Amino acid sequence: MVEIEIAYEGELHTHARHGPSRADLATDAPRDNEGRGEAFSPTDLVAVALGSCMLTVMGILARRKGWLLDGAQARVEKHMVADPVRRIGRLAVQFSMPVGLPEEARGPLERAAHTCPVHESLHPAVEVDVRFDWA
């Protein structure tokens, strides 16, 4: 179990503190939903969580196999919908994979990305498109 404390600071801003590390982050509502867009929105953090989780799970596998994943990058596009309520409709994840990974790493790394805990926790109505660019 991990505990995270979140405080509403007014003006659609929140402040969160991660219990174990004491790391802080702030959120703000996006401009298209009455906010000022001065920080990640809560739904932006879902996109961050997905990309970070996928990279982390691939990193765990790569470390176990002795593959160097350093320099791998993910870009996540978040698409909102309003049917019947405002929610994330689609997350498009584009990976840029580093040079030097062996050919036999591709399949296992792609499978690992698709089975990360965040991906597995998303509602089925959220479309997740994942693409890999192999160097």
Q: What is the pLDDT of residue 28?
A: 97
**Alpha carbons 111 and 89: distance in angstroms, whole number:** 22
Question: Model's pTM, two decimal places?
Answer: 0.95
Q: What is the pLDDT of residue 83?
A: 83
Q: Residue ranges of the chain with pLDDT lower than 50?
A: none
**Alpha carbons 124 and 122: distance in angstroms, whole number:** 6
